[in-house]
Amino acid sequence: MAVEQNKVMPSGKTLAQIDTEQAEYVRAANAALAEVRGRSACWSSYSASHSTFEMLIGEPNAEDNIVLSMPACESVFGPVRWPAQCIEVFWRCNRESEAHPWEFEIRDERAGFRALGEMFGWRRGHDMWTQGGLWFGRGAGPGSPAPRERAEAELAGLLRHFYSGRVSYDDLKCEVFRILDQLPVVRRRSAAGPGE
């Protein structure tokens, strides 16, 4: 089945534009990882029920640490912690595959570490003690965050498109992750639970 790269998605971008942006996002992650070669790496969390893996490079509250997140993690193996990381992120795009059009790999050949998954996110200077993880916490988004109401409206619109068959499940996942990344960072958690 041939995929039309100029097909416009609900975000207003073509598949080709989305793939180009994703390639640049992975290049930026690799450039940041290269800057901190030799720093320690460790798993910061793994949720088997949500298939979500997160890794910390450096210290949890450092301004120059890097956090890697892999929701929809299919496999992870290798050491849990090692003193000098040499991590690279690889991204493969096969729009012809209905099951897995995108595949990400976090790999450190020297340490014997490898993680594979369908989604990938990263942040520099993420205070994990204050903000929690990237996927389950509130990650630092781009410079001008979208207001909560706009994000809620975008998510609702995406769900309507998904249920009407205009957005595939994989495109829905990517767009939801993009919208969540734009939400403002919560630096201080309240003592009350969610919704209280």
Which residues share a beta bridge with 96? Answer: none
Across all residues in the chain, what is the average pLDDT?
A: 79
Reported pTM: 0.65
What phi-psi label fits residue 52: left (phi over 0), alpha (psi between -120 and 50 degrees) or beta?
beta
Q: What is the domain partition of the chain in residue ranges? A: 15-137, 141-182
Residue 181 Cα distances to 69, 145, 166, angstroms: 12, 8, 23
The string of pLDDT tens digits covering residues 66-107 is: 989 998 899 999 999 999 999 999 999 887 777 667 899 999
Whether the predicted pLDDT of 119 surpasses 80: yes
- Return the sign of the alpha-carbon dihedral for residues 126, 128, 130, 132: positive
147 CB-near residues (< 8 Å, 6+ apart): none
Whether the predicted pLDDT of 65 surpasses 80: yes
Phi, psi angle pair for 154, to nearest 5°: -65, -45
Tell me the average pLDDT across 30-57.
90
Per the model's pLDDT, the better-predicted residue between 98 and 21 turns out to be 21
